[in-house]
Amino acid sequence: MATTQTQSVPTLEPEDPQLAQIVEEIRAFMVELIERHRITNDQWSAAIAYLSELGERKEFHALSDVMRLSVPVDRITHEDQEAFTPSNVEGPFFLPDAPTQESPAKICPDDAPGQHVVLRGKVRTADGTGLGGSVIDIWQTDAEGLYDIELHQSMSLEPGEMAYRARVRTDADGSFEIHTVKPKAYTVPTDGPLGVFLRKIGRHPWRPAHYHFRIEAEGRPPLTTMLYMADDPWLSVDVIDSIKERLLVDTSSGVVDYDFVLAD
Ligand SMILES: [Fe+2]
């Protein structure tokens, strides 16, 4: 007769207790969903294959955005900051090494199609003190809704050459002036797994037109945000649900005055 040996199973303390709790909550919720919707092996295999392809195409960032998860995370990260310019999500089109320009800067060709716009204002504190030497990363689409990474052929850009984006250094009092064009609404990528997902669940892929900004000033946390065109028809149905009233601007006069107020 075989003897039974009792062996104590070592218990591991999680290195990250919050993550361990979140994983368990996700698991329990997924089991509930699997049972409620009677998910089969075939459906589960298709979901795993889909997520694998999404990773290969580097579309997880965009999925987080269109699942409308990036915006609540950003809101939690920046709560209690009413005195400052509202933050917003970075999106997938930021490039860290855009060309640096002094203010006044021009980030589009002289003959760029579309409405030409001057963005001007100050990077400052809540009490009005200018933050001289701040750097404003700006990136946007052209007037047809295309980013430079999509414009390489039509603009005859050299490999690595950029357009409609720059790192603009403000004046000594924090003032800036950026000459550019009004951007246009565009769709998140629809030619890969993200597009498949949106079609499957019946969601449109449109983002209202916007300028992106990432602003760095010494001794302050950087501000990442967007400014939206107040007349854009897609504002109320933004696919990533990121619109904030205080980030709407009117370009109809060709000049937009906007101060960026950085947190302490
Ligand atoms: Fe964008």
- At 86 the three-state DSSP class reads coil
Q: What is the pLDDT of residue 159?
A: 79
Q: What is the pLDDT of residue 124?
A: 97
The amino acid at residue 236 is S
Q: What is the pLDDT of residue 4?
A: 61
Q: What is the pLDDT of residue 247?
A: 96
d(CA 189, CA 200): 15
d(CA 250, CA 208): 14
Full-model pTM: 0.86
Q: What is the pLDDT of residue 92?
A: 85
Cα 231 to averaged position of ligand 1 atoms, centre (Å): 17
Cα 133 to averaged position of ligand 1 atoms, centre (Å): 25
What residues form DSSP beta bridges with 261?
124
Cα 145 to averaged position of ligand 1 atoms, centre (Å): 9
Q: What is the pLDDT of residue 21?
A: 97
Cα 130 to averaged position of ligand 1 atoms, centre (Å): 27
Calculate ∠ Cα 61-67-69, nearest 5°.
75
Length of the chain: 264
d(CA 149, CA 157): 9
The DSSP result for 170-211, as a single string, is P-TTSEEEEEEE----EEPP-SSHHHHHHHHHT---EE--EE
The amino acid at residue 188 is V
pLDDT tens-digit profile, the chain (264 residues): 555 667 788 888 999 999 999 999 999 999 999 999 999 999 999 999 999 999 999 999 899 999 999 999 999 998 878 899 999 999 889 999 999 999 999 999 999 999 999 999 999 999 999 999 999 999 999 999 999 988 877 787 887 888 999 999 999 999 999 999 999 999 998 999 999 999 999 999 999 999 999 999 999 999 999 999 999 999 999 999 999 999 999 999 999 999 999 998
The two tokens of residue 116 are 């030409």
Cα 210 to averaged position of ligand 1 atoms, centre (Å): 6
- At 62 the three-state DSSP class reads helix
